[in-house]
Structure 1
Amino acid sequence: MIRLGIIGCGRISDLHAQAYLDHPGATITAVADTDPGNLATRGAAWGVPESARHQDYRDLLARSDVDAVEVLVPHHLHAPITLDAMNAGKHVSLQKPMALSMDDATTMVKAGHDLGVTFKVFENFVFYPPVVRARELIENGEIGELLSIRVKSNPGWSPTAWDVPAAASAWRIDEAKCGGGPLVFDDGHHKFAIAWYFLGLADRVHAFIGSTMDGLLDAPSMVSWTHPDGQVGSLEVVYSPDLQLHTEQYAQDDRVEITGTRGVIWITRGHGRMLDVPPVILYRDGETRGFSDMPTGWETSFLNSGRHFVDALLGGTAPSLTGEEGRDVLSFALAAQESSRTGGPVSLASGDRRPVGPLPGREPGQPRETGLG
């Protein structure tokens, strides 16, 4: 049984916690948050006794009944809390982006290895069923060799969207605490992780990052990049204040288009959705086919990522994203920030951590059922 402590009990913690509440090999034994209201609400909801609810995260780290922690705090606190947790002998699952600088990321990766603890950078989009299905189709050769990936991020509004607390909005626009804008750096991590998931780390990034008239959002923006094998990619971020979207969490539509030598795959949703079409669409050999036999709620990606962390701890296997992989994606996001500041392209050193092998549970060369005939 993996005994979890959750540090940071804001709104997003509800999605993280459910994975551990549902997993037969995990239990939430303690929580920490500086806000007494968050402590009381989440502690009661997750069955954590009052004696295990702490306003100081260090009290949680001192507990002998915590094996691992989920760190869900503002970005500038990621490095110090993660290092404290590692020094306390705890395994760590850390919300993205892992740090504000490559130096901090490297320090955390080294500490994890030196102290013998598992370090996962929590990225949920690579566990989102439509994204996973698209990769399965690609692994089956349905669109041939990959040529490009295009990602569209389009926030709008929704009557059913989450109410974001003012305090959460405030630190996300404070560069000293957030490290970059909420759409290109923070949420952009998901998009850069998707590109990494399909094509590995980029080797050159060129970005224009704009700003809304009120200065709160980093849109409209455009990020483009190349990969070592010649593929190209782009991220377009546009805020449409009057665009109504379907969602239960954030009012944002995410769309991905992946082009190969033989066909094209579209992933038509993410945080929420705009289009009433199948979540995955394949065009190949003059025919269009849709795939709807999968869960599409954004919360499913959190469940899958959290369960994966527990399974990795129980099985002694590497999580996804490892600290090294999270550092790669961070370098992608930071390169976009630097390119926008300087007005020129930024080169990245391409490592060997390219997630292009078989998905977990699939043997090399083993076909996967896709319903394509």
Structure 2
Amino acid sequence: MEKLRVGIIGAGRISDLHALEYLANPRAEIVAVADMVAENAQTRGRAWGVPAHAIFTNYHDLLALPEVDLVEILLPHHLHYQAVLDAAQAGKHVSVQKPMALSVEQADAMIAATQRAGVMFKVFENFIFYPPVQRAKALVDAGEIGEPLSIRIKSNAATSPNAWQVPLAAQIWRFDPAQNGGGPLVFDDGHHKFALAWHFMGQAEAVHAWIGATEVFPGAILDSPSIISWKFANGGVGALEVVYSPELVLDTQHYAQDDRIEITGAKGVIWVTRGHGKMLDAPPVVLYRDRQTRTFSDMPVGWEHSFINSTRHMIDAYFAGAAPSLTGEQGREVLRFALAAQESARLGQAVTLAKG
């Protein structure tokens, strides 16, 4: 059986979730890993069954391996641009963690490089593959709530005794706008939320953002509390509220955070009641229309399933010769959305997203 042979560049905490489907899918295998921290590369490499000769601290060595078909780039955001260019030049198919870049200009260059090389280019966005979100989208597409008129997203960072233990060194760069592109919640995690808004209702036409600041430890500023609102070209509206509640304890096996989504249509409303974790003791998807409430619980709800589904979709696309999701162009649209929020907060006024 032909297999998609994958090299993983960046073996930090999140790589555990990216690896799941590659390890389980009979049509894929992890054949190489690179991380500048030798311990990370060795630990993950051994766990994934990577031979010792294909474990590196320099990703250029990984790119030189002829047996690597595709690279999964899981580096800090400011390193995405060069890594994608290098991978494309090496003739490798590319999946890069969101956000794809720090600017639209970088995104354009990355898209152009992968097109010239004739390789697949995926911007890895997992939230649109989260099973409750997939069910909500199917309900919307089936006309259950009529034309969508608005989307509201609530993102609540908190604390949990079961949360992932992420080394401090792996957190620090997220608080540096030069490396992250913005803040940890509105720009980094916010990409998921802007992608959700785009997924359900299309690209925003105008964005207004107020981005707050909370010092969580000396020198580390969290971009919370914040609120971002936007208008769609069809007249619909949306909003994202981001809050850090330091004394709020929730259940999670991953980041100490949870999310809720509300989509209002012309004749009904859909709620997705969870995301990273579990805060509400409620079905994951709720639909109201025609004076009746229906609930949907027949789906996996662990956050890891969003990674599994996103990776599986890409493996299927690779073998079918189809486009992945997100494509580079779609990732660029979500990036424009996220950057508009940053610009609006800096200017203190709404920002219009020009077409293209």
Separation of aligned partners in 2, 1:38 and 1:168: 11
- The alpha-carbon distance between structure 1 residues 104 and 247, as it changes in their structure 2 partners (threshold 3 A), is same
Q: 2:315 aligns with which of 289, 310, 319?
A: 310
Separation of aligned partners in 2, 1:347 and 1:164: 37
Separation of aligned partners in 2, 1:179 and 1:138: 33
Higher strand share: 2
1:202, 1:350 within 8 Å by CA — same for their partners in 2? no
The corresponding residue for 2:98 is 96
The corresponding residue for 1:207 is 209
Separation of aligned partners in 2, 1:213 and 1:169: 14
Shift of 1:213: 3.8
Query: Structure 1-normalised TM-score?
Result: 0.93
- Identity among equivalent positions (%) equals 64
Separation of aligned partners in 1, 2:16 and 2:26: 18
Shift of 1:293: 0.2
Please state whether the residue corresponding to 1:240 is helix, strand or coil: strand
1:147, 1:261 within 8 Å by CA — same for their partners in 2? yes
The corresponding residue for 1:334 is 339
The corresponding residue for 1:239 is 244
The corresponding residue for 1:255 is 260
The corresponding residue for 1:140 is 142
Q: 2:52 aligns with which of 42, 47, 50?
A: 50
User: Are 1:286 and 2:291 counterparts?
Assistant: yes
Please state whether the residue corresponding to 2:50 is helix, strand or coil: coil
Separation of aligned partners in 2, 1:54 and 1:134: 42
The corresponding residue for 2:159 is 157
Separation of aligned partners in 2, 1:169 and 1:16: 18
The corresponding residue for 1:297 is 302
Deviation per CA, 1:163-220: give whole Å up to 9, x if none. 1111111100111111100000000000000000001110100000001144521000
Please state whether the residue corresponding to 1:167 is helix, strand or coil: helix
1:201, 1:350 within 8 Å by CA — same for their partners in 2? no
Question: What amino acid is the match of 2:201?
Answer: L
Deviation per CA, 1:17-66: give whole Å up to 9, x if none. 11101111111100000111101110111000110001000000000000
1:149, 1:258 within 8 Å by CA — same for their partners in 2? yes
Question: What amino acid is the match of 2:275?
Answer: G
Question: What amino acid is the match of 1:39?
Answer: A
- Counting only pairs closer than 5 Å after superposition, residues 165-204 of structure 1 correspond to structure 2 as 165-204=167-206
Please state whether the residue corresponding to 1:242 is helix, strand or coil: strand
Shift of 1:350: 4.1
Separation of aligned partners in 1, 2:265 and 2:13: 38
The corresponding residue for 1:370 is none
Please state whether the residue corresponding to 1:239 is helix, strand or coil: strand
Separation of aligned partners in 2, 1:350 and 1:173: 31
Shift of 1:148: 0.1
Question: What amino acid is the match of 2:345?
Answer: S
**Structure 1 portions without partners, runs of 5+:** 352-373
Question: What amino acid is the match of 2:86?
Answer: D
Separation of aligned partners in 2, 1:69 and 1:166: 26
Question: What amino acid is the match of 1:12?
Answer: I
- Counting only pairs closer than 5 Å after superposition, residues 26-45 of structure 1 correspond to structure 2 as 26-45=28-47
Please state whether the residue corresponding to 2:249 is helix, strand or coil: coil
1:134, 1:267 within 8 Å by CA — same for their partners in 2? yes
Deviation per CA, 1:62-92: give whole Å up to 9, x if none. 0000000000000000000010000000000
Separation of aligned partners in 1, 2:169 and 2:48: 23
Separation of aligned partners in 1, 2:148 and 2:117: 39
Question: What amino acid is the match of 2:347?
Answer: T
Q: 2:74 aligns with which of 50, 63, 72?
A: 72
Shift of 1:115: 1.2
Query: Structure 2-normalised TM-score?
Result: 0.98
Separation of aligned partners in 1, 2:315 and 2:60: 22
Question: What amino acid is the match of 1:143?
Answer: I
Question: What amino acid is the match of 1:250?
Answer: Y
Residue-pair matches, total: 351
Shift of 1:4: 0.2
Please state whether the residue corresponding to 2:96 is helix, strand or coil: strand
Q: Which moved more, 1:137-146 or 1:329-338?
A: 137-146
**Structure 2 portions without partners, runs of 5+:** none
Separation of aligned partners in 2, 1:191 and 1:313: 26
